[in-house]
Amino acid sequence: MANSAPPFTGDAAEDLRPYLAPTEFIDCDEPSVIAFAQTAVAGARDDSEGIRRLYYAVRDGIRYDPYSMSLDRAAFRASSVLAAGRGHCVAKATLCIAAARAIGVPARPGYADVRNHLCTPRLRAMMDTDLFIYHGYVELRLGGRWVKATPVFNLSLCEKFRVFPLEFDGQTDSLFHPYDPDGKRHMEYVRDHGAFADVPFATIIAALRQSYPRLLGLAPAGHDFEREAAATAAKAGRGRAVRT
């Protein structure tokens, strides 16, 4: 790797080289990605704290924006997501993985179909469903095993939607909470597509074309998901979620 940072400690029994190498989309050798990762973990006392800091840097530093879905290959690269400052779940997961690899943590993308009851009326109308296919998550090799994390919904968005922000302790799996603070179901994992060494771009794009033809190719301008979330919550008379 272009970065000279030593690898984090872990189990060497599995060949982890594919999950440390730069790829077309997980461009962990890009200077901007390396700088982002090093800034995020600066001052961390140990591996666990470092990876937690990285998780929150992506979760809250990059806005979740489902309207940013694109057919452009370049838009799926981690460095492009970082430059844009926003991205959908696949994009944010890709950035987190690239940043992890940049500091020597083996990481890979995983994908699942999820039924998301947390959706604005406008987005649901454009999708014609509440099923989000190929929802992206992250797998990190920590302590000799793969740990799942989902740095997707930024804190400000969670507050507007009145859902618990998803925390990560750097040691155990962190997937979406199935219920909101009012006890209502808002996320169900329907089908897991498994993990990959790189983003399976062609497979994801084919699935998105088939499932969301009206949503693809939208310019972010004029489609502010966080603003929609605030309006939806206000209409429903909901306040901010209690932080955990």
Q: What is the DSSP string of 219-230?
A: -STT--HHHHHH
- The separation between the first and the last C-alpha atoms of the chain, rounded to the nearest angstrom, is 37
pLDDT recorded at residue 13: 58
Q: Are 130 and 187 in contact (CB under 8 A)?
A: no
| Residue 174: strand pairing partners | 149
Burial of residue 42, with CB atoms counted within 10 A of its CB: 0-12 exposed, 13-18 middle, 19 or more buried:
exposed
> For the chain, what are the domain ranges?
17-230
pLDDT recorded at residue 117: 60
pLDDT recorded at residue 8: 42
DSSP H helices in 5-120: 31-41, 47-61, 78-84, 89-102
pLDDT recorded at residue 121: 75
Tokens at 67, concatenated: 């309207």
Q: Among residues 103, 78, 86, which one has the least CA distance to residue 199?
A: 78
**Is residue 242 helix, strand or coil?**
coil
Q: Among residues 87, 84, 80, 85, which one has the least CA distance to residue 64?
A: 87
47-61 vs 31-41: helix axis angle to the nearest 10? 120
pLDDT recorded at residue 3: 39
pLDDT recorded at residue 90: 96
Dihedral of the alpha carbons of 205, 189, 111, 217, in degrees to the nearest 10: 30
17-230, which class in CATH? alpha beta
pLDDT recorded at residue 236: 63
Averaged pLDDT in 10-residue chunks for the chain of 244 residues: 39 81 98 98 93 97 88 95 95 98 97 80 78 94 95 87 85 76 71 96 93 66 66 60 42
